[in-house]
Chain A
Amino acid sequence: MAVARTELRPELSAKEPVALKLLVAGGFGAGKTTLVGAVSEIRPLRTEESLSEAGRPVDSTVGVEGKRTTTVAMDFGRITLRENLVLYLFGTPGQDRFWFLWDELAQGALGAVVLADTRRLADCFAAVDYFEQRGIPFAVAVNCFEGAELHDPQHVREALDIDSGVPVVLCDARERDSAKNVLISVVEHAAKVAAGRRTV
Chain B
Amino acid sequence: MSAESSGNSDPSESERWYDDAAGPVVRPYAMTRGRTSHGADTKIDLIALVIAERAPGDGDPLDDHTLSPEHLDIIERCQYQAISVAELAADLDLPVGVVRVLVGDLVEGAHVRLHKPVPPAELPDVSILREVINGLRAL
Residues of A within 8 A of B (CB): 1, 4, 7-9, 12, 16-21, 39, 43-49, 58-59, 61-66, 68-71, 76, 78-79, 81-82, 84-88, 90, 104-105, 107-111, 176, 180, 183-184, 187-188, 190-191, 194-195
Q: In the complex, what residues of B have CB within 8 A of residue A17's CB?
A: 49, 51, 82, 115
B82 vs chain A, min Cβ distance (A)? 4
9 closest residue pairs by CB, A with B = A81-B135, A4-B126, A66-B13, A48-B95, A63-B36, A191-B129, A19-B47, A43-B90, A47-B96
Q: Which residues of B contact A81 (CB under 8 A)?
A: 131-132, 135-136
CB-based contact B118/A45 at 8 Å: no
Q: Is the CB of A45 within 8 A of B89?
A: yes
Please report the total number of B residues contacting A with Cβ < 8 Å. Answer: 65
CB-contacts of B103-139 with A (<8 A):
115, 117-120, 122-133, 135-137, 139
Question: What is the CB-to-nearest-CB distance from A200 to chain B, in angstroms, rounded to a whole number?
Answer: 14
* A70 pairs with B118, CB closer than 8 A: no
Q: How far is the CA of A168 from the CA of B47 in the complex (A)?
A: 28
CA A65 – CA B12 in complex, angstroms? 10
Q: How far is B96's CA from A157's CA once the two chains are assembled, in angstroms?
A: 36
When each residue 79-97 of chain B gets 1 if its CB lies under 8 Å from chain A and 0 otherwise, what string results?
Answer: 0001010110110011111
Question: Distance in Å from the Cβ of A44 to the closest Cβ of chain B?
Answer: 7
Whether A71 contacts B126 by the Cβ 8 Å rule is no
Chain A residues with CB under 8 Å of B21's CB are 71
Instruction: Contact check, B130 vs A1: say whether CB atoms are below 8 A apart.
Output: yes
Contact B124 A110 (CB under 8 A): yes
Summed over the interface, the residue pairs from A and B with CB atoms below 8 Å come to a total of 176
Please report B residues at the A interface, Cβ cutoff 8 Å.
1, 3, 6-7, 9-10, 13-14, 16-19, 21-23, 28, 34-43, 45-49, 51, 82, 84, 86-87, 89-90, 93-98, 115, 117-120, 122-133, 135-137, 139
Q: B139 is contacted by which of A18, A19, A64, A79 (Cβ under 8 Å)?
A: A79
10 contacting pairs across A/B (C-beta < 8 A): A8-B125, A48-B97, A65-B7, A66-B16, A69-B17, A81-B131, A104-B46, A176-B139, A180-B137, A184-B137
Chain B residues near A1 (CB-CB < 8 A)? 126, 130
Query: B129 — which chain A residues lie within 8 A by C-beta?
Result: 110, 187, 190-191, 194
B89 CB contact (under 8 Å) in A16, A46, A68, A78: A46
